Each structure stands twice: as C-alpha cells, then as structure tokens.
C-alpha cells in the first residue's frame, strides 16, 4: 500500500487520483470475477479479497493506535514501528476499503448460496446482485432495526431470508466484523482527526500554553505539519502566525524553511520575519533534522532570491547566517 499510494514524505498526503484508481481497479476486478468465475472459484476469489481488505483495515487500526499512544505521550515517536507508513492508508482508503470489504463479502455470500442452496438462505427465486447487496446491508448493525422500526420496508415480503442455523451464524459474523473492526477503525480515525483539529484550534486561542502546544505538536503525525505551515504563513492573526512559527523546530517540520523563505517578502511584519528566520536557524542547528541535497539547494535558491528583496538589515543578516549554516 505504501508503494501504491506513494504518500508525501513530509506531510503524508496522498493524491486523490491514486485513491480513485485504487477504488476503480478493485471494483473492476471484483466485477470480472463475478461474471467470469463459477461459484466455487468465485467464492474463493472473493473470500481472499475480503481477507485482504480486512487486513488493510486492521493494519490501519494498529497504525492509529500507535499514533494515539505517541500523541498521548505513552510511546516515544522514535520507537514507533508503523508511523512512517501512516500515509499509506489515508482516511479515503480506509473508507473505500471498508466498502470493498462489504462488496466482496456480498459476492462471497452470493457464491456460497450458489454452491450450497438452502443452507444460508431459504429456497428463493433468482434475484439480481443489487438485491443481494440490499439484503447484506440489512445485516449491518442497527440498519435492520431502523428499517423495521420506521416500517420503511416490509421485511417479511423479501425474497431472501436467512436460515435459523447457518444464516444466523452469518448474521452474527457480519455484525461482529463490521461492528467491532470496521466501525472501530473509522471511529479511531475520526478521533485522531478531531485531536488534530483541537491542536490547530489551540494555536488560535490566547489561553493556550505555548510550551504544552509545542510538546503536543512534536508528537503529532506528519499530516498535521501542512496545517501548521498554513497557519504560520496565511493566518490573519499575527499572534497565531507567531505561535505556529514557534512550533516548527519542535515538530521537526523540515519543509518549513523553504515554505517560510518563499513567502518571506510577502510578510509585512519585520518582527515575524526575524522570528521565523531564527526558528529556521534553530532547526538547522538540530542534529536530528537532516536535509537532503535537493532540499538544501532549494533553500539556497530561495535565500538568494530573498536577499535581493527589500528587508531590514537584521533580516538580511539572518538570511546570510542561514546560508552559512547550510
């Protein structure tokens, strides 16, 4: 997944076209299987795909769980095993994989009914795949109860009915798998996004403790770094920009120097220019911050550009200090 999604090394972002291609290819493969394979092979292929999707979902749960431990200070980020792979399964992939898991599960049950008629479902007339899909949706926790409570559909008149033995086992398996694993993974992801949002809001509040915010930001995953850079460069409040700039060295945002230097001549406040450049010097003095040659060359290029622009003498001196530090 890390190879397929190719997440940005700085902020973990994944291009949406990659997610679209991933989802489309999976739909295409499952459709080809359904219309070309006989029942036994179709069951085996769809069951294997279902296991593959379930493995991705469980992997995401493990990654989020590790990230949450880091954010809560219970695990040091240097001891993290999966953090660098976090971007390989973004939220969009988690959602689409959950959908594919459910679709492959439906195909598996469809094939099983062809192989073993009247075992999982009572004898029934031929129905199309969308009817099967609707029947499987009703097995999701709370869906059937809501439909029954509001009398949206007369369930007794449906063509498909689960048997009291294997059908009940299937229903319980679906409820446990979706309720415990899929729902949990999505809720964990939403909880993490909420924590990131709360961190961003902390920068916008004058009541926040900047030292505590710095400590929290240093533990957050890479996806928050893009938001911090946006705050430091584009927020309308000068105080918020300064607070966001202050966090860059602690959060090890190695893309901050080039981003800040690119916008330096657009910043109207000289004190913020000076403050940002001092944070860049602090980052370059940190032995844990390693810049490759490509990034160093880009920073140098932007330093030379900014030196030609109008800045205070203090800012110009800081620009030269950064150039020497590189």
Please report which helix (H) or strand (E) contains residue 252, including its range: none
Judged by average pLDDT, the poorest of 201-205, 216-220, 257-261 is 216-220
| 241 in the same domain as 120 | no
Is-contact 279 299, C-beta < 8 A? no
Please check whether residues 220 and 173 belong to one and the same domain.
Answer: no
Percentage of the residues of the chain whose pLDDT score is greater than 90: 17
Written as six digits, the tokens of 104 are: 């492959």
Average pLDDT over residues 262-278: 90
238 and 116 in one domain? no
Q: Flag the least confident range among 32-41, 75-84, 122-131.
A: 75-84
Alpha-helical runs (H) found in the chain: 2-5, 16-36, 39-71, 91-115, 129-137, 143-149, 166-176, 183-203, 210-219, 225-234, 238-251, 256-263, 270-284, 293-307, 313-325
Last residue of a domain, one of 149, 165, 194: 194
pLDDT in the model for residue 141: 74
32-36, 38-42, 95-99, 223-227, range with the lowest pLDDT: 223-227
**pLDDT recorded at residue 274:** 93
pLDDT of 76 strictly over 70: no
Q: Does 56 reside within a domain?
A: yes
d(CA 315, CA 313): 5
Could you tell me the residue range of the domain that residue 273 belongs to? 208-325
Flag whether pLDDT at 212 surpasses 90: no
Task: Read off the pLDDT of residues 102-129 as tens digits, 9 standing for 90 and up.
Answer: 999 999 989 988 888 888 888 777 888 8
**Is the residue at 201 inside a domain?**
no
Looking at the structure, tell me whether residues 136 and 221 fall in a common domain. no
Residues 185 and 222 in one domain: no
Tokens of 128: 């199309």
Same domain, 222 and 176: no
Q: Residue 45 class from Cβ within 10 Å (0-12 exposed, 13-18 middle, 19+ buried)?
A: buried
- Does residue 12 carry a pLDDT above 60? no
The candidate with the shortest Cα–Cα distance to 71, out of 255, 217, 179, is 217
In this structure, are 185 and 296 located in the same domain? no
What's the pLDDT at 28? Answer: 95
DSSP 280: H
Cβ(256)–Cβ(229) below 8 Å: yes
Token couple for 112: 């099983």
> Do residues 101 and 50 touch, judged by C-beta distance below 8 A?
yes
φ, ψ for residue 216 (rounded to 5)? -65, -45
Residue 247: inside a domain: yes
Same domain, 289 and 265: yes
The predicted model scores a pTM of 0.64
Assess if residue 202 is contained within a domain.
no
What is the structure's pLDDT at 104?
94
Which range has the top average pLDDT, 59-63, 156-160, 223-227, 268-272? Answer: 268-272
Give the chain's mean pLDDT: 81
Does residue 95 lie within any of the structural domains? Answer: yes
Q: Across residues 34-54, what is the average pLDDT?
A: 93
- Whether residue 160 sits in one domain with residue 110: yes
Confidence of residue 239 (pLDDT cuts 50, 70, 90): confident
Q: Would residue 203 count as lying in a domain? A: no
Q: Angle CA(253)–CA(254)–CA(256) in degrees, nearest 5?
A: 70
Mean pLDDT is lowest, of 12-21, 117-126, 317-326, for: 12-21
* Domains of the chain: total: 2
CA dist., res. 167 & res. 189, Å (int): 32
Residue 268 has what pLDDT?
A: 85
**Residue with structure tokens 């709370």?**
142
Q: How many CB atoms lie within 10 A of CB 40?
A: 12
Same domain, yes or no: 186 and 216: no
Residue 199, domain member (yes or no): no
- At which of 171, 194, 217 does a domain end? 194
**Has residue 277 been placed in a domain?**
yes
Interacting residues of 240 by C-beta distance below 8 A, sequence separation 6+: 203, 204, 231
Q: What percent of the chain has pLDDT over 70?
A: 86
How far apart are the C-alpha atoms of 122 and 139, rounded to whole Å? 16
Secondary structure (H, E, C), 13-76: CCCHHHHHHHHHHHHHHHHHHHHHCCHHHHHHHHHHHHHHHHHHHHHHHHHHHHHHHHHCCCCC
pLDDT confidence bin for 77, thresholds 50/70/90? low
My answer on whether 243 and 267 are in the same domain is yes
Tell me the C-alpha distance between 55 and 57, whole Å: 5
- pLDDT band of residue 88 (cuts 50, 70, 90) is low
**Mean pLDDT across the stretch 153-165?**
76
Beta-bridge partners for 121: 162
């Amino acid at each position: 997944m890390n190879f397929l999604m190719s997440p940005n090394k700085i902020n973990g972002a994944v291009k949406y076209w990659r997610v679209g291609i991933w989802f489309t290819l999976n739909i295409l493969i499952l459709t080809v299987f359904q219309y070309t394979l006989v029942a036994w092979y179709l069951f085996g292929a769809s069951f294997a795909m279902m296991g593959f999707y379930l493995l991705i979902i469980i992997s995401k749960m493990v990654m989020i769980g590790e990230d949450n431990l880091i954010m809560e200070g219970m695990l040091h980020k240097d001891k993290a095993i999966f953090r660098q792979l976090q971007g390989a399964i973004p939220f969009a992939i988690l959602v689409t994989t959950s959908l594919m898991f459910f679709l492959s599960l439906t195909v598996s049950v469809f094939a099983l009914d062809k192989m073993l008629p009247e075992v999982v479902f009572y004898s029934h007339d031929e129905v199309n795949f969308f009817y099967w899909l609707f029947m499987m949706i009703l097995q999701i926790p709370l869906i059937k109860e809501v439909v029954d409570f509001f009398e949206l559909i007369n369930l007794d008149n449906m063509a498909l009915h689960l048997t009291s033995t294997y059908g009940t086992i299937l229903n319980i398996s679906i409820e446990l798998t979706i309720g415990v694993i899929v729902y949990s993974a999505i809720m964990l992801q939403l909880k993490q996004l909420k924590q990131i949002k709360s961190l961003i809001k902390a920068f916008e509040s004058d009541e926040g403790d900047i030292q505590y915010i710095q400590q929290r930001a240093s533990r957050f995953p890479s996806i928050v770094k893009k938001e911090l850079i946006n705050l430091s460069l584009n927020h309308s409040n000068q105080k918020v920009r300064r607070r966001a700039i202050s966090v860059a060295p602690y959060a090890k945002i190695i893309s901050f120097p080039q981003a800040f230097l690119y916008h330096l001549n657009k910043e109207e406040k000289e004190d913020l220019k000076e403050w940002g450049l001092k944070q860049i010097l602090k980052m370059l003095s940190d032995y844990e911050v390693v810049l490759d040659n490509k990034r160093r060359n880009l920073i140098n290029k932007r330093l030379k550009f900014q030196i030609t622009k109008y800045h205070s003498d203090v800012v110009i001196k800081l620009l030269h200090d950064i150039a020497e530090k590189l």
